[in-house]
Structure 1
Amino acid sequence: MNFHGSDFYDDNSNFEKYMQRRQWQENANDTLEKPVIWQLLGEVLDRHVLDLGSGDAGFGVELLEKGCAAYVGIEGSRNMVKAATNQLMDYNHGSVLHMRMEDYTYPSDAYDVVISRLALHYLEDIETVFHSIHQTLKPNGRFVFSVEHPVITSTLQPSGTRTNWVVDNYFIEGYREQQWLGGTVHKYHRTIEDYFNAMQEAGFIVERLRESKPVREHFASDETYERRRRIPLFLFLAGRKQD
């Protein structure tokens, strides 16, 4: 079957495989992606946070534990929303809405922080979403996101341990197919420049650009650490709405 974004996780087999994968000791989300997201976010105490493509809201729980005033997740997968609802059950100021981020009605000047972790690379039209994010942020509000690195989306190939990467058609924007967890996933390839320009055109001051350079202390094995030094898996951008 072919999947775009959140519907991939509404296949029960894919959902179970993904959740098992996230439990791996050295999964890339926890060793490479999340540490950078925390660095870019900085202080979250008393912040109102919107999370686009929030998954099972595990990160939402972490934000609430660190004192954010309110957390709202937007998630298109029914399976993920069910898992998120269970995760947030004990938190009065945490909630998740079942809808695509493209369909959310973004209230004006409502949030201090908008985050999106590894979800925007499924979208063709990020420009409209970025403008909506800019609108929903309060003055001086911040937008922090991660995506699969364009070096990766330009070299998508069947799953398994990769031994080489050949960047091809880098400047040709569009959907690429990837075989992952037994299904075919479509991810939208665009360049680093495309992401940067989309941020600026939406009105953001781009404050930081990061890549997923590994830090040794996050890895249990030298082998995995050395393998992660070969290629950037993720791209991060952080921007601010002017007051």
Structure 2
Amino acid sequence: MGREGAKELWGLDLCTKQIETARNVLHDQQAEVTLIESPMEENPGIPSSYFDIVYSIYALGWTTNLSLTFSNIYSYLKPGGVFIFSWEHPLHDRLKYEQEQSTFIFNKSYVNEGPEYNEGWQNLAVIHHRKLSTYINALIEAGFMIEKVIDDVCLPDEQSENPARWYSTQKANLVPATFIIKASKS
């Protein structure tokens, strides 16, 4: 964004290491850089109606309070501002490869929401499972207008060698790995 002419870049993350990494990556930006270590459920002093664009790439699913996070993001945006985010598609971690049968099975309920250990992180991380409709409805409740939802799959011509991998082309042939939502503040 800085190379494309943004005057300011702001970043928010819960993890000290991620803030340090961002600081190293952004050290030579022409834009003013502000990095804040804080949970996204809290407003650590970010100005209201300030930003043209807010985006989150594979981070929003870590929030413990989706409604509060969306309300914060809505407050940060100027009227007409755009919010774009991506996260793992909620069907993706419901599907598991069974070696014995050489097939995929649904091993968890899609409709049961809440905190759970994430198998992709070998049960070291707790993530809140949410349905896609939960994300969409929480955006609407926060005041956003949804412009686009993408959960299409673009697959390479050749298949990955191991269908049991967390992200495999065989699994992506059945369910999308990611979704992206674009919404705006009215």
TM interval, short-chain normalised: 0.7 to 0.9
Distance 1:211 1:86 in 2: 32
Aligned match of 1:73: 11
Q: Percent identical across equivalent pairs?
A: 25
Indicate whether 1:240 and 2:184 are aligned: yes
Show structure 2 runs of 5+ residues with no match: 161-167
Other structure's SS at 2:79 match: strand
> How many residues of Structure 1 are paired with residues of Structure 2 in the alignment?
172
Other structure's SS at 2:85 match: strand
Asked if structure 1 preserves the Cα contact closer than 8 Å seen for 2:2 and 2:30, the reply is no
Asked if structure 2 preserves the Cα contact closer than 8 Å seen for 1:210 and 1:235, the reply is yes
Structure with the higher fraction of residues in strand conformation: 2
Whichever residue aligns with residue 98 of structure 1, its letter is: E
Q: Shift in Å at residue 95 of structure 1?
A: 3.1
Aligned match of 1:101: 40
Aligned match of 1:64: 2
Q: Shift in Å at residue 150 of structure 1?
A: 0.9
Other structure's SS at 1:79 match: helix
Larger Rg over CA atoms = 2
Q: Shift in Å at residue 212 of structure 1?
A: 4.4
Other structure's SS at 1:164 match: strand
Q: What is the TM-score with the length of structure 1 in the denominator?
A: 0.64
Whichever residue aligns with residue 59 of structure 2, its letter is: A
Distance 1:164 1:127 in 2: 33
Distance 2:53 2:140 in 1: 17
Distance 1:205 1:91 in 2: 32
Whichever residue aligns with residue 153 of structure 2, its letter is: K
Alignment of 1:172-187 (within 5 A): 172-180=112-120, 184-187=124-127
Aligned match of 1:231: 175
Judged with a 3 Å threshold, the aligned counterparts in structure 2 of structure 1 residues 168 and 179 are, in CA distance, closer, same or farther, namely closer
Distance 1:223 1:169 in 2: 27
Alignment of 1:27-46 (within 5 A): none
Asked if structure 2 preserves the Cα contact closer than 8 Å seen for 1:150 and 1:190, the reply is yes
Structure with the higher fraction of residues in helix conformation: 1
Q: Deviations over 1:18-45 (max 9, x none)?
A: xxxxxxxxxxxxxxxxxxxxxxxxxxxx
Whichever residue aligns with residue 159 of structure 2, its letter is: E
Aligned match of 1:206: 146
Indicate whether 1:131 and 2:75 are aligned: no
Other structure's SS at 1:114 match: strand
Indicate whether 1:87 and 2:25 are aligned: yes
Other structure's SS at 2:124 match: strand
Other structure's SS at 2:67 match: helix
Aligned match of 2:137: 197
Q: Shift in Å at residue 173 of structure 1?
A: 1.1
Distance 1:129 1:100 in 2: 9
Asked if structure 2 preserves the Cα contact closer than 8 Å seen for 1:113 and 1:143, the reply is yes
Q: Shift in Å at residue 163 of structure 1?
A: 5.6
Whichever residue aligns with residue 95 of structure 1, its letter is: T
Q: Shift in Å at residue 79 of structure 1?
A: 1.4
Distance 1:75 1:101 in 2: 7
Judged with a 3 Å threshold, the aligned counterparts in structure 2 of structure 1 residues 95 and 116 are, in CA distance, closer, same or farther, namely same
Asked if structure 2 preserves the Cα contact closer than 8 Å seen for 1:156 and 1:178, the reply is no
Q: Shift in Å at residue 168 of structure 1?
A: 2.8
Asked if structure 2 preserves the Cα contact closer than 8 Å seen for 1:113 and 1:142, the reply is yes
